[in-house]
A and B are shown apart, each in its own frame.
Chain A
């Protein structure tokens, strides 16, 4: 069984992936940390210097949580322009 996760891409993630939204097919019981690992793998070393916080379904998650089919994930990165 697999689940499909929607990743909304902003800032550095969007820059590295080149898309606003991507869908990831993942194993059942995959977690929020697994999404981050997969995104880092997909973008080679482009995001190496950046640490992310993760939001699932518009809510910040402070620890690693299990994901369900259809969940929306955002990797939040700090931006600094002003």
Chain B
């Protein structure tokens, strides 16, 4: 059985003598001492059946090893603290439950510090079609603190094969407002703000104020130049994504004032988008997920990333070409 830090605190108030056991190693205990929690320290190697009674709570660093231990030993009345010591300490200091992120917390590149960075990040997604709906879902899931959802478009029947998050009943409704409503139920940690308008040179500064990273999920080159100009001026990175039939491109521009979209692409007069040339619904999902991954890598300062690189993915052959842009 699993228990969240919030529920554990409630349980302790009801029963202060509850049996809590910290199974972490000495190094983990030294580096991340448990805050405000009466417990016994026993190692995985030394714990005996007699140490456990009904409603015992087991704690490890991220709630992964204890969960495995409980399953292997078939312990029916013993609880695993979800997210482990990392989630407990975060809850005590911030009153915010991060146990839902246990599976990403355990990654050395994330951890408690990285999750805090994710929770405090502000990301704007421009365009809520095939790419943007996917990016929004995974960034909400990851725990981004504030996400601006920007698109002046309405949902149409021919969007749904590649934007299946929108229900058929939402046809004719605003994409930004509908997506905000749907995703508001997914993660209470994430603050969602919708803008039912297209960006232009006049409104972009006002809409994108207080943004750390911009996701370009638009469907036209002109919008990308507007985003690029703003990002260069404001020194904000933008994660570019674009599609062509079975292909997609992803890059991170303006990262640390690095190479920009306009350094690579000219304003070609290409009058084509997914409506004209066709697209399978899966392709924006693949490319949008790569964009989401790059957003988290920027927040967590993980390298290698796609800063100063252009990734071209071909969905027919499943080949990728990664081009160094400097």
Confirm or deny: B317 has a beta carbon within 8 angstroms of a beta carbon on chain A: yes
CB-CB contacts below 8 Å: A1-41 with B: 8, 10-12, 14-15, 20
On whether the beta carbons of B268 and A49 are closer than 8 Å, the reply is yes
- Distance of A74 from chain B, by nearest CB (Å): 6
A residues whose Cβ falls under 8 Å from a Cβ of B: 8, 10-12, 14-15, 20, 49-51, 53, 55, 58-60, 74, 76-82
Work out how many contacts link A and B, with CB atoms closer than 8 A. Answer: 94
Chain B: interface secondary structure?
mixed
When chains A and B are docked, how far (Å) is the Cα of A74 from the Cα of B284? 23
On whether the beta carbons of A82 and B243 are closer than 8 Å, the reply is yes
List the A residue with the shortest CB-CB distance to B272. A80
On whether the beta carbons of B314 and A81 are closer than 8 Å, the reply is no
List the B residue with the shortest CB-CB distance to A54. B323
The size class of the interface chain B forms with chain A is 35 or more
On whether the beta carbons of A80 and B324 are closer than 8 Å, the reply is no
On whether the beta carbons of B324 and A58 are closer than 8 Å, the reply is yes
A58-B284 contact in complex given A79-B243, A81-B244, A82-B127, C-beta closer than 8 Å: no
On whether the beta carbons of A76 and B266 are closer than 8 Å, the reply is no
Q: Which residues of B contact A15 (CB under 8 A)?
A: 245
A20-B317 contact in complex given A50-B270, A80-B272, A81-B277, C-beta closer than 8 Å: yes
A20, A76, A80: the one contacting B264 at CB < 8 Å is: A76
B residues whose Cβ falls under 8 Å from a Cβ of A: 127, 129-132, 216-221, 224, 241-245, 247, 249, 264-266, 268-270, 272-274, 277, 279, 284, 310, 312, 314, 317, 319, 321-326
When chains A and B are docked, how far (Å) is the Cα of A50 from the Cα of B244? 14
